[in-house]
Amino acid sequence: MSKPSTASKGRLPVSLVGQGDQLSDLLASLNARSRRLRIDVQSVIDCGKSDDLADLVDQLAIPFYSTSLDDLPNQPVPGMVILSSDLPEVQKVLREKLPCDVPILGPKQGDLIQGIISLVENNRALSLDSRRLKETRRQLNLFVVTAPLAIYVKDQDYKYLMMNNHALHVLGFKEKQVIGHTDSDIYPAGNSDWLHDLEQEAMKTGSTLCATGVLIAPGQEMHAQVTIFPITENRKTVGVYGLVEDTTELFESEQKLHEVDDKLDETQKYLQEVLANSRDMIFLTDPEGRIKSFNKGAEQALGYNPVEVIGKSATHLCTDPDKFNVLFDKALLDGHATRYETQFNSKDGHTVIGNISLTLITDPEGNPLEVVCLCRDITQRLQLKNDLIRSERLAAVGQMASGVAHEINNPLAVIDTIAGLVEDSLADEGHLLPQDTQDILFKAMQRLHYQVARCTKITHSLLGFVRKSQTGMAAINLDDLISECVELLLVEIKRCGAKVDLNLDPDMPIFRSDPMLLQQVFVNLLKNALDATEEVPQRKGKVSIVTHLDGDRIIISVEDNGVGIEDEVQDKIFDLFHTTKPAGKGTGLGLSIVHDILVRLGGNIKVTSVNGKWTRFLVQLPVVPPEILQPDPMSLEL
């Protein structure tokens, strides 16, 4: 009688009977799956007596191996016998030798065995998948709960099934306020409409959607970016996942950035306005020196409009292009070239002197982009500087004239005294001389007194003009004053052979002014007229003096038929030290002094001339003098 089976607890003891490769394959397959099939291969009967099978049995540590069915009863009774091939005789013997309750599975039950094996394999795979799914869900739930992201889950009715801790913290809710509620329950009315619309669209289309908006949570307003993931089961969307990202700081940063950009744009526009409307000349060029922009200051100074110069070389504006090129190259090399005096040609042809500075603008890599040319018009300043120099020269001349006047007055006093002694001698002893001689000497002394008085008046006038002494206002008969001036120059008139015509208004009223200063004015004008006629010896010189009254102004015209004045210098003849006379004959002081005297007396002077034919000076004087005489614009405190 067979012994009871000693198979592992809970497993079914199995004996395998067969031959050849079929038995080897069956042994290998069942042994590999013995744990999952809950079987234990206890014995193998090899009817084909294969050495390879014997080695396999030994390797698999099968407890019993035999090549004869007769040895089977000597082994523990198996729970089941499996035949690897169709061996009817073997099956008959096994039935005789084994208890009747031991099932014997032949080759016809091979499909059942393979089905059992496949079923076990599938169950094992499902078990593995189930464990993996559980682990994945566990990890996902752990991530959702602990992730530093705001995550929520809603069902198909848009009620919250879950909201993680981070979301509760960020939004300021408690779990009981959220779970089982909709957005309309926890957010103010209308505040979450955009979120609900997004979830509805995701639920309807099954697509992942993203949007931004504002969520009003308890005590705060949060700018959020929300991503919605649909949850599907059996191809039906049954809920949504929501991922909420707090973008409040980003929104505020963007707002501040926009504010900075707006301020920057405003500052840039303001700077552009300042540059465009600056009275200084400002123009930009490319690295090749071609003009890119041209501001209003440059337009006003040079007379060009931007269309005329943009795209052209900046040297087109310069009097000395080579000098500008040297400065431009220096700016390209050193980055700047500052405070250089440069001359520009204006559109109308006059020269504009500018103090120019060039600055190179580069890109982040250091490549030249453009050159800023900033230039200040210093033409007027240089003119004022030159006027100051001329004023200093006039001051020196004034000081010299003051000294000369003092020196002249002393000998004039001596001459006047001697003339007085001669008159006294003639009065006492003149009877000893012939009457004709007495008459000649007496008239000579009168003329001497007269000329001394004249010289004294001139020197006093010069001293008063230089020292800005108080002028002597007096009633003036203009006819007498002009006639006296002509008489003073009788010697000059005879010498040059000119004719002086006087056409004086007999109805000219008596007016108040400074007779000594006016005498200096008309003597200068008459002397200049005589000099002008001398420069045209081929025709008879003629000087005309005409006076008339024009309202409250007295007009005196002094006209000659001399050499005339060139058009380009007519506006300069009243400047200090400007003269059209040859060297050694004119100082350039006469007309300047005339102009300044008339300004002080409330009048003015104008000139018109045709070069080579004639010149006319028009003097205007007020009938009523100003209460306070105007200061001499060119006089100095000496």
Cα distance between residue 531 and residue 585, in whole Å:
10
Per residue in 163-197, pLDDT (tens digit) is 888 888 877 888 888 888 888 888 877 777 888 88
Cα distance between residue 55 and residue 430, in whole Å:
189
Strand 368-377 with 351-362, pairing = antiparallel
Cα distance between residue 384 and residue 399, in whole Å:
22
Cα distance between residue 26 and residue 211, in whole Å:
62
Q: Which residues contact 587 (CB under 8 A, 6 or more apart)?
A: 577, 579
List, edge to edge, every strand of the sheet that includes 291-294: 291-294, 281-285, 368-377, 351-362, 336-345
CB 612 within 8 A of CB 563: yes
Cα distance between residue 177 and residue 187, in whole Å:
11
- Tell me the two tokens of residue 556: 């005196």
Cα distance between residue 226 and residue 435, in whole Å:
137
pLDDT at position 224: 83
pLDDT at position 577: 46
Cα distance between residue 491 and residue 527, in whole Å:
11
Ranges in the chain, pLDDT < 70: 1-10, 108-127, 129-130, 137, 140-141, 143-147, 218-219, 384-403, 405-406, 457-458, 460-471, 570, 575-590, 627-638
Name the CA dihedral angle for 138, 141, 146, 149, rounded to a multiple of 10 degrees: 140
Helix (H, G, I), strand (E, B) or coil at 625: coil
Buried b (16+ CB within 10 A) or exposed e, 266-278: eeeeeeeeebeee
Q: Which residues contact 151 (CB under 8 A, 6 or more apart)?
A: 144, 163, 164, 166, 167, 241, 242, 243, 244
pLDDT at position 542: 93
> pTM value?
0.35
Question: Would you mind telling me the total number of residues written for the chain in this entry?
Answer: 638
Cα distance between residue 14 and residue 412, in whole Å:
168
Strand partners, 66: 45
